[in-house]
């Protein structure tokens, strides 16, 4: 039971320090200090959450301690850096003698070696770096004395496999140091108890939520454009808001948008205010520079993406500007939390919609914030087995282990408490022999069992396994450098697919400047400065965000209710009216589709408002049926609101394509052979250690890439359909990737199908044409026709046909 009546007094030196700052310790800070068990602190940003997490450690450390005492884990490297800096002040002022260091992917190898021999009292790290440290044979020695673990931004970690990996790591820590206490720090969430369960059980401490935020749309002089993102039309209005504030954070939803907006801001920065740019594609050096400048108060604004999203404790920020619709309400609330870290003042935030569709989304989001309606969103299911496979392999890297002991240990991790032994054994079998029905690999096991203890057959394999740590399976990134004889300045990174689409002479934006693509050399994208201000290719795909279902449905209700449009700016009302004129408004209870031609392709757009996963599945099923009907589908893109399919021939009548029975027929068989499943498999196979991402020397050889994971998937499906990795892939698909239930629900609720043949692209469909994440249909008749056309063009051009 929480005992809040008699919080222990702070040691005098701490009380003096609080008083010297003119502060009173918050009630929840004292509660965390008093607790003897694991705790989960839920507090809005600015509630002194981080200090609360560290207070018990600092009080403990005041008496002196040799070795590693507190391990702090956060999702972002930048966060570790920031915490190290912010913690230094109270530590020095209270007069504590202790070392605080961070350990991330950026830490130098000499520093890492030193940390292994002589660890600091407080070590700040990320889930991946923790997994790496735990994979070394020295791990038991390093972590044996750990007393406390602080898990920051645990609400963010819990939503992905990084959180599962982290909790497995914490379970390992508990074995290495049985007395340790864990404190989770979380922003406001819908279900605190579920999050505590994710931690393996913890006492929930909720801080006073503070006053409601001051949040509104930023009025703009010019209306939002018809389509597109980026909010460049509002650059002057945003600049004016920045001028009026002390320090502003300007959030954009993707890196490309951040680049463009940063450029647009500088064009109207008449007073030459210092403004920085921060996003995940920038080089480490560039990001550090901005972080340092911000911490020293040298900047007036930072244009950023999710890379700065998580609670950086920069108390001077007094305004958050969100450019582009916040994709879910929870994220919006958390971003607002960045502003004004004084607890008793409302946070101030302004939203700028980037296009007219987003105006609607912003209005819906504001309505949701006013009603305190946080979307559920957070995923919670039993821990995924691919992450467990990686954990088993890394455990083997650290030394001998017994299967029974490891199984018991794993079940102390919240996500794996109900892990059946059979599943564990399957994972162990996969790690040891590949787990194939064909027993051919017994001879070449990766793990061996000797005298009841498991170990790596070849200890040299540990290097490859360590290089593949982590559960983020993003596409390959290539470094971008300015061309020069001596290396050249690193500018940032772009995705491999983007680099492959460039031809010499193309210009694009990175690091706020326009550069010219010169060529690819040894996996480095070489560029030169371009004289132009207007990049030819403005976009490289950044982080793609999903809108919550709750928000999607609010958006549909708002679009379909002209009587509520008075909360929208006039131009948006006009835009929706235009949609009404050219086509129709997709009303709840109907299934509204549009067909139009554009650029020699037939487009079919369906407004389902059922979330991206459901739309993606529906698009896959529809393209399959279109293939059967001979329409030659070429590709599709799915968003949270709608899906768009393009094909050689147009859809004349959607009704037969959309019959629920037709869609259900052969769903399983066909779904298993589609591109989305293959993508899921690639991710599962990478995490579980079947495909290696980072083989030493592999990238350099320039020789063809290893194996197509698609071929591995097809081979497994044909010869070993019950293989563990296929089971995991299917399970993930059923969990949301496929979301067929929602499609059925959508079809059942739609009393009629409305099909409009529009003369051209419609106002609502326009944004879809600009969406990233387009999926091509491979191996179909459409592709064959397209390739044949292109091949003939090439032959004609070469004078061969």
Partner 1 sequence: MREITFSGVRLIAQPSGALYWPEQGALIVADLHLGKSARMARRGGALLPPFETLDTVARLEAEVARIGPRRLISLGDTFDDDRAAGEIAPEISARLSALAARIETVWIAGNHDPVGLGRAVEDMRLGPLTLRHIAGAGPDVSGHYHPKAKIARRSHRAFLVGGDHLILPAFGTYTGGLDCDGPELRALVGPGIAVLTGPGMPVRPIGQSAARQSR
> Which residues of this chain interact with partner 1, rule CB under 8 A?
433-434, 436, 438, 440-441, 444, 446, 457-458, 460-461, 464, 500-501, 503, 689-692, 703-708, 711-712, 715-716, 718-720, 723, 776, 778-781, 783-788, 790-791, 794-795, 797-798, 800
Residue 526 per-residue DSSP state: E
Whether residue 585 contacts residue 559, with contact meaning beta carbons closer than 8 Å, is answered with yes
Shortest Cβ distance from residue 786 to partner 1 (Å)?
6
Among candidates 126, 125, 187, which has minimal Cα distance to 155?
Answer: 187
In angstroms, the first-to-last Cα distance of the chain is: 83
- Order the strands of the 477-482 sheet from edge to edge: 490-495, 477-482, 524-529, 513-521, 507-510
Q: Which residues contact 661 (CB under 8 A, 6 or more apart)?
A: none
* Bridge partners for 514 per DSSP: 509
Q: Note every long-range contact of 591-594, with CB atoms under 8 Å and residues 24 or more positions apart, other chains counting.
A: 591/658, 591/746, 591/747, 591/750, 591/752, 591/753, 591/754, 592/754, 592/756, 593/651, 593/654, 593/753, 593/754, 593/755, 593/756, 594/755, 594/756, 594/757, 594/758, 594/762, 594/764, 594/765
Cα 412 vs. chain centroid, distance in angstroms? 26
Which distant-in-sequence residues (6+ apart) come within 8 Å of 295 by Cβ?
Answer: 82, 85, 314
Question: Which CB atom, from 112 or from 785, has the smaller least distance to partner 1?
Answer: 785
Nearest to 607 by CA among 574, 578, 579: 579
CB of 800 to partner 1, least distance (A): 6
> What is the smallest separation between the CB atom of 542 and partner 1, expressed in angstroms?
21
Backbone angles phi, psi at 120, to 5 degrees: -75, 170
Give whichever of 144 and 794 is closer to partner 1, judged by the CB atom. 794
Closer CB to partner 1, 23 or 719, in the complex = 719
Q: Within a 10 A sphere around the Cβ of 565, how many other Cβ atoms?
A: 17
CB of 10 to partner 1, least distance (A): 54
User: Tokens 């299917």 — which residue?
Assistant: 730
Residue 138 CB, shortest distance to partner 1, in Å, is 23
384 or 780: CB nearest partner 1: 780
Task: Identify the burial level of 759 via C-beta atoms within 10 angstroms of its C-beta, where 0-12 means exposed, 13-18 middle and 19 or more buried.
Answer: exposed
Instruction: Find the largest Cα–Cα distance for the chain.
Output: 90
Residue spans of beta strands (DSSP E) within 127-213: 148-151, 181-186, 203-206
| Nearest CB to partner 1, comparing residues 272 and 800 | 800
Helix axes 49-61, 77-94, angle to 10 degrees: 50
Indicate the residue among 265 and 680 with the shorter CB distance to partner 1.
680
Shortest Cβ distance from residue 441 to partner 1 (Å)? 6
In the complex, minimum distance from the CB of residue 643 to partner 1, in angstroms, rounded to a whole number: 22
Nearer to partner 1, 298 or 787 (CB): 787
Task: Rank residues 297 and 459 by Cβ distance to partner 1 and give the closer one.
Answer: 459
Closer Cβ to partner 1, 96 or 691, answer by number: 691
The nearest distance, CB 105 to partner 1, in angstroms, is 23
| Residue 375 vs 783, nearer CB to partner 1 | 783
Contact 374, 155 (CB under 8 A): no
Strand partners for 482? 527
Angle 637-730-382 (CA atoms, 0-180°, nearest 5)?
110
In three-state secondary structure terms, 208 is coil
Indicate the helix (H) or strand (E) that contains 349: strand 348-352
Cβ nearer to partner 1, comparing 311 with 689: 689
- Report, in Å, the least distance between residue 755 CB and partner 1: 30
CB of 460 to partner 1, least distance (A): 6
Cβ burial of 440 (10 Å; 0-12, 13-18, 19+) is exposed
Tokens of 250: 């300007």
Element (H, E) at 636: strand 633-638
> For residues 5 and 460, which CB has a smaller minimum distance to partner 1 in the complex?
460
Of 75 and 782, CB closest to partner 1:
782
Least spacing, CB of residue 198 vs partner 1, in Å: 31
In this complex, which beta carbon is closest to partner 1, that of residue 6 or of residue 701? 701
Closest CB to partner 1 among residues 43, 393:
393
Which candidate, 513, 498, 506, places its Cα nearest to that of 536?
506
Which residue in the block uniquely carries the two structure tokens 């990134």? Answer: 477
């Amino acid at each position: 039971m929480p005992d809040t009546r008699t919080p222990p007094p702070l040691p005098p030196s701490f009380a003096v320090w609080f008083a010297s700052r003119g502060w009173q310790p918050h009630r929840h800070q004292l509660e965390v200090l008093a607790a003897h068990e694991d705790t989960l602190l839920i507090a809005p940003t600015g509630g002194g959450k981080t200090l609360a997490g560290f207070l018990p450690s600092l009080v403990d450390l005041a008496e002196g301690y040799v070795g590693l005492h507190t391990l702090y884990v956060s999702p972002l490297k930048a966060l570790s850096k920031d915490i190290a800096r912010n913690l230094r002040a109270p530590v020095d002022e209270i007069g504590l003698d202790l070392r605080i260091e961070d350990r991330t992917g950026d830490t130098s190898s000499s520093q890492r070696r030193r940390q292994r021999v002589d660890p600091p009292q407080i070590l700040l790290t990320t889930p991946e770096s923790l997994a790496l440290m735990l994979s070394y044979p020295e791990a038991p020695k390093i972590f044996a004395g750990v007393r406390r673990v602080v898990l920051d931004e645990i609400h963010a970690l819990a939503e992905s496999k990084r959180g599962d990996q982290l909790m497995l790591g914490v379970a390992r820590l508990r074995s290495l140091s049985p007395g340790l206490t864990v404190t989770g720090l979380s922003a406001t969430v819908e279900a605190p108890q579920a999050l505590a369960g994710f931690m393996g059980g913890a006492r929930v401490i909720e801080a006073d939520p503070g006053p409601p935020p001051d949040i509104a749309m930023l009025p703009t002089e010019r209306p939002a454009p018809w389509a597109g993102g980026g909010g460049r039309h509002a650059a002057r209005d945003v600049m004016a808001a920045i001028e009026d504030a002390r320090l502003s954070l300007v959030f954009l939803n993707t890196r490309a948008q951040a680049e463009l907006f940063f450029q647009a801001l500088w064009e109207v920065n008449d007073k030459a205010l210092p403004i920085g740019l921060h996003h995940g594609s920038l080089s480490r050096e560039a990001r550090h520079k901005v972080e340092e400048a911000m911490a020293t108060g040298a900047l007036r604004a930072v244009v950023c993406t999710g890379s700065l999203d998580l609670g950086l404790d920069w108390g001077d920020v007094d305004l958050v500007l969100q450019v582009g619709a916040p994709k879910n309400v929870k994220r919006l609330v958390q971003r607002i939390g960045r502003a004004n870290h004084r607890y008793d003042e409302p946070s101030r935030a302004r939203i700028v919609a980037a296009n007219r569709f987003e105006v609607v989304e912003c209005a819906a989001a504001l309505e949701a914030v006013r009603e305190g309606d946080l979307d559920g969103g957070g995923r919670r299911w039993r821990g995924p087995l691919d992450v467990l496979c990686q954990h088993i392999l890394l455990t083997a890297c650290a030394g001998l282990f017994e299967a029974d002991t490891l199984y018991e240990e794993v079940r102390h991790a919240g996500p794996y408490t109900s892990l059946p032994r059979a599943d564990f054994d399957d994972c162990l079998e996969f790690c040891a022999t590949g787990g194939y029905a064909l027993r051919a690999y017994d001879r070449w096991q990766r793990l061996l069992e000797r005298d009841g203890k498991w170990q790596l057959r070849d200890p040299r394999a540990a290097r490859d396994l360590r290089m593949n740590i982590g559960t983020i399976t993003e596409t390959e990134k290539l470094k971008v450098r300015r061309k020069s004889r001596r290396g050249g300045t690193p500018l940032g990174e772009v995705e491999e697919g983007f680099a492959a689409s460039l031809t010499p002479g193309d210009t694009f934006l990175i690091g706020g400047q326009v550069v010219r693509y010169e060529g690819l050399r040894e996996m480095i994208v070489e560029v030169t400065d371009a004289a132009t201000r207007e990049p030819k290719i403005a976009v490289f795909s950044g982080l793609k965000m999903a809108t919550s279902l709750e928000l999607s449905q609010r958006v549909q209700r708002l679009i379909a209710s002209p009587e509520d449009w008075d909360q929208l700016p006039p131009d948006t009302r006009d835009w929706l009216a235009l949609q009404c004129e050219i086509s129709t408004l997709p009303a709840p209870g109907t299934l509204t589709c549009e067909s139009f031609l554009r650029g020699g392709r037939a487009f079919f757009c369906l407004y389902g408002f059922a979330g991206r996963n459901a739309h993606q599945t529906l698009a896959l099923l529809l393209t399959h049926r279109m293939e059967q009907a001979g329409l030659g589908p070429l590709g599709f893109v799915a968003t949270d609101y709608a899906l768009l399919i393009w094909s050689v021939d147009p859809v004349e009548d959607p009704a037969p394509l959309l019959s629920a029975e037709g869609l259900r027929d052969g769903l399983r068989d066909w779904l298993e052979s589609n591109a989305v499943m293959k993508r899921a498999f690639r991710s599962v196979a990478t995490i579980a250690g079947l495909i290696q991402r980072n083989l030493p020397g592999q990238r350099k050889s320039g020789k063809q890439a290893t194996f197509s994971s698609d071929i591995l998937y097809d081979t497994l499906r044909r010869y070993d359909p019950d293989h563990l990795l296929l089971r995991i892939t299917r399970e993930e698909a059923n969990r949301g990737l496929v979301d067929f239930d929602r499609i059925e629900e959508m079809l059942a609720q739609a009393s009629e199908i409305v099909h409009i043949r529009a003369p051209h692209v419609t106002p609502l469909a326009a944004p879809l044409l600009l969406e990233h994440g387009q999926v091509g249909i491979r191996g179909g008749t459409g592709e064959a026709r397209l390739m044949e056309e292109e091949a003939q063009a090439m032959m004609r051009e070469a004078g061969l046909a």
